[in-house]
C-alpha cells in the first residue's frame, strides 16, 4: 500500500517536473521526496493561529504538501494522540508538552537540523518545561489579562481591584469569562493570593467558592473565541482574554485597554514538537526551522497578534509604531514575580474541570 503510494507520488512529481517550470531556488517535489522520504507533512495545531502566507510559502519553497488539522483544546489533541493518530508536527501548550514528554509521546529534536534556533528571543529561552529545547521550539507566547472599555471602566479602579473587579457588582452583567477551567481557576487562585499550581484542597475549595460567587452575583457570559468579535463590537465592558486576542481587539477598537493584574497572571508558551510516531521527522525539522526564519515569524505575529518567539521580530513588533508599539496587549510581562506558568497535573486538572462545570451549571 505504501509502496503504491510512493510510486504514485513519484509518477505525479515526475509529471510536475516535466510539465511546469519550477520557481528558481525552490525545491521540486521529487527533490523533496529524495531528501525527506516523502513530500507530505501532517500538522496538528490550534485554529486561527497562522500567518496569511506562511504555509503556502513553505510548500512552494520546499516542494511539499502540508496537511493541516486544527484542535480546539490541548486535551482534545491529547485524546487523539492517545487513540494512536499520527502527525509530524504538533503545537501544544507548555503544560501539555510536560505531559507528552512524561508519556514518551515525543522524539528529541536534532539541533543540527535547526540552525535557526539561535533566532529565539531571550524571553522564551530556558522555559521550565524544556530548558534546553530538547523536545520543543516556541511558536507563540503570551499572557492572560483583562480587556476593558476605558470609557466605562476607570483604569484606576481596574488597577486597584485587579481580578477582583470580576466580582465588583458595579459591573454585573458586563463581563465575559473565558470558558476554560484552567484560566478561570487561575484568576481565582491569583485573586486569593495562591499559586495557580496549588493542589492544597482548602485553597481549591476557596477558589471554587470565589468562582461560584462570581457566577451568582455577576451574571457572566462564558465564551471562547467569540469574545474577540464581541469586544470589538463593545457589547460588554470587561473580558478575560489571551494577550494575542487582546492585541487584535485593541487594534480594532480604540476604546479598549488591556491590563495584567498585579496579583499575577498566567504566562504561557505554545511550542512545536515532533511526536514519536511521526512519519516524516526530517521534513518536520525543516518545518520547525522554517518557522524560526524572520519572514515566517513576522507574518505569523503580524497576522495573529501574539508575541513572537523570534528575537528580531519581537523587537520590531513591540517598538515600531506602524506595528504593535502602541498596543499594550502585544508584549507580555517578563520576569514579574507573581506570574507563573502552568505545570502538568492530571489529577488536579480533572478535579478543577469537575468543579468548573459545576460552577457553570449552577444557575
Partner 1 sequence: MKQFRSMTYPYVLWISVMIIVPMLLIVLYAFTVSGNDVLTFQFTLENFHRFITDSVFRAVLWRSLLIAVITTLICVLLGYPIAYIIAQMGEHANTVMILLITMPTWVNMLVRTYAWMGILQDEGVLNSLLGVFGIGPVQMIHTSFAVILGMVYNFIPFMILQIHTSLAKMDKSLLNAANDLGANPVQAFLRVTLPLSVPGIISGITLVFLPAVSSFFIPKLLGGGQYVLVGNIIETQFLTTGDWNFGSAISMIMALIIMLSMYLTRKVDVSAASNGKE
The residues of the shown chain that bind partner 1, judged by CB under 8 A, are 73, 75-76, 78-79, 177, 179, 181, 215, 220-224, 233, 235, 346, 349-350, 353-354, 357-358, 360-363
Of 197 and 230, nearer to partner 1 (C-beta) is: 230
Of 57 and 230, nearer to partner 1 (C-beta) is: 230
Closest by Cα among 276, 274, 283 to 37: 283
Q: How far apart are CA 291 and CA 61, in angstroms?
A: 13
| CA neighbours closer than 13 Å in the CB half-sphere of residue 291 | 24
Closest by Cα among 255, 258, 237 to 305: 258
Of 12 and 357, nearer to partner 1 (C-beta) is: 357
Cross-strand bridge partners of residue 340: 266
Instruction: Please name the residues in contact with 221: beta carbons below 8 A apart, sequence gap of 6 or more.
Output: 175, 176, 177, 236
Of 236 and 285, nearer to partner 1 (C-beta) is: 236
Of 53 and 216, nearer to partner 1 (C-beta) is: 216
Find the shortest distance in angstroms from Cβ 205 to partner 1: 15
Find the shortest distance in angstroms from Cβ 81 to partner 1: 12
Of 10 and 232, nearer to partner 1 (C-beta) is: 232
- Classify residue 346 as exposed, middle or buried by CB count within 10 Å of its CB (0-12, 13-18, 19+): exposed
Q: How far apart are CA 248 and CA 225, in angstroms?
A: 12
Task: Check: CB of residue 136 under 8 Å from CB of residue 89.
Answer: no
Of 144 and 311, nearer to partner 1 (C-beta) is: 144
Find the shortest distance in angstroms from Cβ 223 to partner 1: 6
Find the shortest distance in angstroms from Cβ 350 to partner 1: 5
Find the shortest distance in angstroms from Cβ 217 to partner 1: 14
Residue by residue, DSSP assigns 157-174 as: HHHHHGGGGGG-GGGTT-
Find the shortest distance in angstroms from Cβ 57 to partner 1: 31
Closest by Cα among 93, 89, 87 to 75: 93
Q: What is the CA radius of gyration of the chain?
A: 22
Find the shortest distance in angstroms from Cβ 289 to partner 1: 33
Q: Is the dihedral of CA 225, 246, 164, 268 positive or negative?
A: positive
Q: How far apart are CA 228 and CA 304, in angstroms?
A: 12
Of 181 and 340, nearer to partner 1 (C-beta) is: 181
Find the shortest distance in angstroms from Cβ 283 to partner 1: 30
Q: How many CB atoms lie within 10 A of CB 262?
A: 14
Amino acid at each position: 500500500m505504501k509502496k503504491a503510494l510512493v510510486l504514485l507520488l513519484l509518477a505525479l512529481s515526475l509529471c510536475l517536473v516535466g510539465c511546469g517550470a519550477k520557481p528558481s531556488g525552490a525545491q521540486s517535489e521529487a527533490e523533496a521526496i529524495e531528501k525527506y522520504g516523502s513530500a507530505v507533512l501532517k500538522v496538528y495545531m490550534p485554529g486561527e493561529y497562522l500567518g496569511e502566507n506562511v504555509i503556502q510559502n513553505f510548500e512552494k519553497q520546499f516542494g511539499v504538501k502540508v496537511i493541516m488539522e486544527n484542535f480546539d483544546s490541548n486535551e482534545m489533541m491529547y485524546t487523539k494522540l492517545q487513540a494512536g493518530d499520527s502527525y509530524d508536527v504538533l503545537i501544544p501548550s507548555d503544560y501539555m508538552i510536560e505531559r507528552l514528554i512524561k508519556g514518551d509521546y515525543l522524539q528529541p529534536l536534532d539541533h543540527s537540523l535547526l540552525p535557526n534556533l539561535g533566532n529565539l528571543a531571550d524571553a522564551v529561552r530556558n522555559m521550565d518545561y524544556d530548558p534546553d529545547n530538547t523536545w520543543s521550539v516556541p511558536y507563540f507566547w503570551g499572557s492572560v489579562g483583562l480587556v476593558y472599555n476605558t470609557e466605562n471602566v476607570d483604569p484606576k479602579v481596574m488597577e486597584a481591584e485587579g481580578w477582583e473587579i470580576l466580582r465588583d457588582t458595579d459591573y454585573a452583567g458586563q463581563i465575559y469569562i473565558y470558558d476554560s477551567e484552567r484560566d478561570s481557576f487561575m484568576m481565582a487562585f491569583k485573586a486569593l493570593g495562591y499559586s495557580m499550581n496549588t493542589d492544597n484542597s482548602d485553597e481549591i475549595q476557596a477558589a471554587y467558592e470565589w468562582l461560584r460567587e462570581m457566577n451568582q452575583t455577576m451574571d457572566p457570559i462564558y465564551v471562547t473565541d467569540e469574545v474577540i468579535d464581541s469586544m470589538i463590537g463593545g457589547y460588554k465592558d470587561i473580558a478575560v482574554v489571551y494577550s494575542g486576542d487582546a492585541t487584535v481587539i485593541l487594534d480594532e477598537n480604540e476604546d479598549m485597554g488591556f491590563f495584567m493584574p498585579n496579583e499575577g497572571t498566567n504566562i504561557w508558551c505554545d511550542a512545536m514538537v515532533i511526536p514519536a510516531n511521526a512519519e516524516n521527522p526530517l521534513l518536520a525539522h525543516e518545518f520547525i526551522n522554517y518557522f524560526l526564519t524572520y519572514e515566517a515569524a513576522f507574518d505569523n505575529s503580524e497576522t495573529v497578534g501574539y508575541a513572537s518567539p523570534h528575537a528580531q521580530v519581537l523587537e520590531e513588533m513591540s517598538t515600531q509604531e506602524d506595528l504593535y508599539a502602541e498596543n499594550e496587549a502585544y508584549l507580555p510581562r517578563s520576569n514579574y514575580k507573581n506570574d507563573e506558568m502552568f505545570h502538568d497535573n492530571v489529577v488536579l486538572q480533572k478535579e478543577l474541570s469537575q468543579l468548573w462545570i459545576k460552577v457553570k451549571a449552577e444557575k
